[in-house]
Amino acid sequence: MSDEKGVQDFGGVPAKPMPGGGAVPTNKPANQPAGAPMGRRATPPSALGEPMIWLTGGALVVSLVMIVGLVAMIVTQGLTTFWPRPVEQVTLSDGSTFLGVPTETRDDPPQTLYRTGNRDIGGEPFRWVEQSEVAGVERPEHAVMLEREAWSVWLGVPERAILVDEAGESKVVAEGPEAVVAFIEENHGEARARSAEIEGLKKHGLGSINKRIEALRLHVREAEISAERVDRPADSWGIVVFGAVAVLGIGALVGAWWIGQDRNTDDAPRLGGPSKPVRVARMTAITAGLALLLAAWLHAPWQNRVMSEERLADIRAKAVEKEADLQARYDGVLERIASLEAEDERLRLEVVDPLTGRFAPARQIEPDNPMRLSQIVRMVDANDMGVGEKFGVFVSRWWEFLAHPPREANTEGGVFPVIVGTVMLTLLLTITVTPLGVIAALYLREYAPQGVVTSTIRIAVNNLAGVPSIVYGVFGLGFFCYTVGKYVDVGSDPSVRLPALWWWAVLGGTMVTLVAAYASAVWSKPIPGKEPSPRNKALKWLSRALWLSVFIAATVLVVRTPYFTGFFEARSVDGSPTFGARGMLWAALTLALLTLPVVIVSTEEAIASVPNSMREGSYGCGASKWQTMRRIVLPGAMPGILTGAILAMARGAGEVAPLMLVGAVKLNEDLPISTNAPFLHLDRSFMHLGFHIYDLGFQSPDSQAARPLVWTTTLLLLTIVVSLNLVAIVIRARLRARLSGSTV
């Protein structure tokens, strides 16, 4: 490789000698003649990596184009749904004619989809017409589209307005399209206000009275159940058992004081803290105190728990008196509703369909009675409107969509209850999953011994992220709704409840085991600076076994207690479960379980990214483990924790399959939040935008009418999720800036 002159040969390429020895290669090959120009060896593309750069860059561009294209399609289709379209009069080659609004076209064969409405007289709501069958198309000056409370839209020509007097005689007050349109514009606002008052009285007036009557009935039912129930177990058992515990607690306090006087032991307090015997004695005293409080609450002699016949009769009499007063108020509201409905029946309109010559009826079963003016939600005279008027209709439709409940099987009206349900569910699941995920990640990363068990748990957490969401829905329905919810409503099944004596015995044994577990944990810690002895290791394993026993015994005490019969026993006995059915709370917990792996993984990574030097500095200043976690690690990892919350929010907001099983319904105008106590009604079912989209697209009785709303609802869901994420991102940015010492 080298000669005596110190010149090295690099693969046949001569090298120039360097001062002080060594050589650098030249571009001139060894076999090139002297004086020939030097060549440059071409670097292969695989060495430069250009194909891979172009491949990865192209994949990124394709992904961005797909995302931007999808968003653009959603925005375009969603925003154009509510723009008014002209009403066309189509004359076919057979001489028939109809009114329709063009909504879609096809090229092979050339045909147009018209929305014709008028379903209540047997008309087709949508109709495909081939261009070869069309003899002529024009836009009549006076053709209008009426958006109605029921039976979707009506297309026709206004002919006359009728006023019905108190005697039932009809009088034409406006005739001809222009006069009828002017009459509608003049009186429509008053008619809609009267209709809104009627709906408000039915929903809120009668509804609130019915709720109060139902509350009285449940109060009487609870009293009857209390009278039928067997008396609670004798107070003597609580006095005997916890009298001994009280003596034990007093003795523990005295022993703690006496032990605390002696500081010359191996268990002397470190850094001014209590010694091990004092800590165990203090735990014993706390346990005894809690036991005494429980005994006093369950067996207090000053509480009158017996429901006598005289007391039950008094409750019934007061309930009858209050119910009579509420019934009188109920009848008054009914009279007011009847008066408003009689006034509402007076104004009627005849809007004629040119195909059949029939007018829009007030009801399908009353084809000879023209429709009421109050039945019209909006009149759209698109053929005579300018751009400004069309924009006004566009804004009005958007306001109705955002601020009103749905109607016509969700294909008309608004989505206000759907928005409230979606936002509440998303916030509730975020509030639930974030603390649980942070606590679990903090323990796995900072406290749990890093070994086989911890690694197995991490693998299980990662695998949970790949479980199909419908599986979580089945689990939520079976565990949360039918198990936990039923326990909240009526307690445990009477067949599994323990006798009082056995329950107190298990409770006493559990408390003794609790003190023993705590004492084993305290004495399992070695002397500072020394390795754990076999005794310390044995006590550590004993403590774990005892804590497991305490958990199992506590579960048995809760599940089989004879002292809890549920919070809603009276309602559930009558077949109306409260929390034992699908609801907002169980849906939020199910989605929290579904998104928990996302929060745990992101929080662990955020905690691991906090420099160890910050921890060591905190320990060097005398801070404890928990103080370091609370003041150093968690604030430093907070941006990453918020990232996990954002991902969980985005994942949970778009889920549909679990919600179909645990809470979401097709229609429910009762919001999960209200001004009536308890204000937040977590037991109610709710409407959700994801489920609403599924219902519109696949369960709607009029799929053609619902198709534009699918895009609009998708746009709304996308906007809500992005808005919630932006709020969390802004909070994260401000927190990150504060941690870095800068300002936003």
Question: What digits encode the pLDDT tens for the residues 257-294?
Answer: 554 444 444 444 444 456 777 777 778 778 877 777 77
Q: Which of 325, 126, 204 is nearest to 674 (CA)?
A: 204
Rg (CA), the chain: 39
pTM for the model stands at 0.83
Question: What is the pLDDT at residue 234?
Answer: 47
Give the N- to C-terminal CA distance of the chain in Å, as an integer.
63
3-state secondary structure of 110: strand
Q: What is the per-residue DSSP string for 11-25?
A: TTEEEEE-TTS-EEE
Residue 692, judged by CB atoms within 10 A of its CB (0-12, 13-18, 19+), counts as buried
Q: Which amino acid is at 709?
A: L
Around 608, how many Cα atoms within 13 Å sit in the side-chain half-sphere? Answer: 9
Q: Which two structure tokens, joined as six digits, stand for 615?
A: 């921890």
Q: Are the C-beta atoms of residues 637 and 607 closer than 8 Å to each other?
A: yes
Question: What digits encode the pLDDT tens for the residues 83-99?
Answer: 999 999 999 998 888 99
3-state secondary structure of 700: coil
Task: Outline where 80-228 has alpha helix (H).
Answer: 177-200, 206-228
In 424-525, where do the E strands start and end? Answer: none
Q: Which of 369, 364, 391, 372 is nearest to 380 (CA)?
A: 391
- Angle, helix 634-653 to helix 703-740, in steps of 10 degrees: 180
Q: Which amino acid is at 302?
A: W
Q: Which of 276, 193, 357 is nearest to 524 (CA)?
A: 276
Count of all residues that appear for the chain in the document: 744
Query: What does the alpha-carbon distance between residue 431 and residue 435 come to, in Å, rounded to a whole number?
Result: 7
Question: What digits encode the pLDDT tens for the residues 524-568?
Answer: 888 777 788 888 888 889 998 999 999 999 999 999 988 888 888
Q: Are the C-beta atoms of residues 599 and 434 closer than 8 Å to each other?
A: yes
Compute how many other C-beta atoms are within 10 angstroms of the C-beta atom of residue 668: 16
Residue 289: strand pairing partners: none
Averaged pLDDT score across all residues of the chain: 83
Query: What does the alpha-carbon distance between residue 577 and residue 557 come to, in Å, rounded to a whole number?
Result: 24
Q: Are the C-beta atoms of residues 651 and 389 closer than 8 Å to each other?
A: no
Q: Which amino acid is at 570?
A: A
Q: Which residues, 6+ apart, have CB-to-CB distance to 363 below 8 Å?
A: 369
Query: What does the alpha-carbon distance between residue 134 and residue 149 come to, in Å, rounded to a whole number?
Result: 32
Residue 370: strand pairing partners: 361
Q: Which of 625, 712, 726, 23 is nearest to 412 (CA)?
A: 712
Query: What does the alpha-carbon distance between residue 179 and residue 433 come to, in Å, rounded to a whole number?
Result: 61
For 663, list phi and psi in degrees, rounded to 5.
175, -35
Q: Which helix (H) or strand (E) holds 530?
A: none
Q: Which of 94, 99, 137, 129 is nearest to 111 (CA)?
A: 129
DSSP type of residue 382: G
Question: What is the pLDDT at residue 441?
Answer: 93
Q: Which amino acid is at 277?
A: P
DSSP type of residue 167: T
3-state secondary structure of 132: helix
Query: What does the alpha-carbon distance between residue 259 and residue 498 come to, in Å, rounded to a whole number?
Result: 40
- Angle, helix 387-403 to helix 416-442, in steps of 10 degrees: 50
Q: What is the per-residue DSSP string for 160-173?
A: EEEEE-TTS-EEEE
Question: What is the pLDDT at residue 240?
Answer: 54
Query: What does the alpha-carbon distance between residue 476 and residue 176 come to, in Å, rounded to a whole number?
Result: 61
Query: What does the alpha-carbon distance between residue 536 and residue 533 come to, in Å, rounded to a whole number?
Result: 5
3-state secondary structure of 684: coil
Give the max Cα distance, the chain.
131
Q: What is the per-residue DSSP string for 554-594?
A: HHHHHHT-SS---SSHHHHHTT--SSSS--HHHHHHHHHHH
Compute how many other C-beta atoms are within 10 angstroms of the C-beta atom of residue 68: 10
Q: Which two structure tokens, joined as six digits, stand for 73?
A: 């399609």
Q: Which two structure tokens, joined as six digits, stand for 744?
A: 């936003």
Residues 435-444: b if buried by 16+ CB within 10 A, e if exposed: eebbebbbeb
Q: Which two structure tokens, joined as six digits, stand for 105?
A: 């076209």
Q: Are the C-beta atoms of residues 244 and 507 closer than 8 Å to each other?
A: no
Query: What does the alpha-carbon distance between residue 115 and residue 101 come to, in Å, rounded to a whole number?
Result: 5
Q: Are the C-beta atoms of residues 290 and 244 closer than 8 Å to each other?
A: no
Q: Which of 421, 401, 427, 424 is nearest to 713 (CA)?
A: 401
pLDDT, block means (10 residues), the chain with 744 residues: 44 48 50 54 65 85 93 91 92 90 87 89 86 91 90 91 85 91 92 93 90 90 77 50 57 54 44 66 78 73 66 90 94 94 92 89 87 92 90 94 89 91 93 93 89 90 90 94 91 85 85 87 80 85 92 92 86 83 94 93 91 89 88 89 89 89 89 84 92 87 79 92 88 80 47
Question: What is the pLDDT at residue 1?
Answer: 44
- Going by their DSSP bridges, the two strands 126-130 and 134-138 should be labelled as unpaired
Q: Are the C-beta atoms of residues 171 and 165 closer than 8 Å to each other?
A: yes
CA dihedral sign of residues 29, 30, 33, 34: positive
In 283-329, where do the E strands start and end? Answer: none
Query: What does the alpha-carbon distance between residue 319 and residue 215 come to, in Å, rounded to a whole number?
Result: 10
Query: What does the alpha-carbon distance between residue 669 and residue 676 come to, in Å, rounded to a whole number?
Result: 15
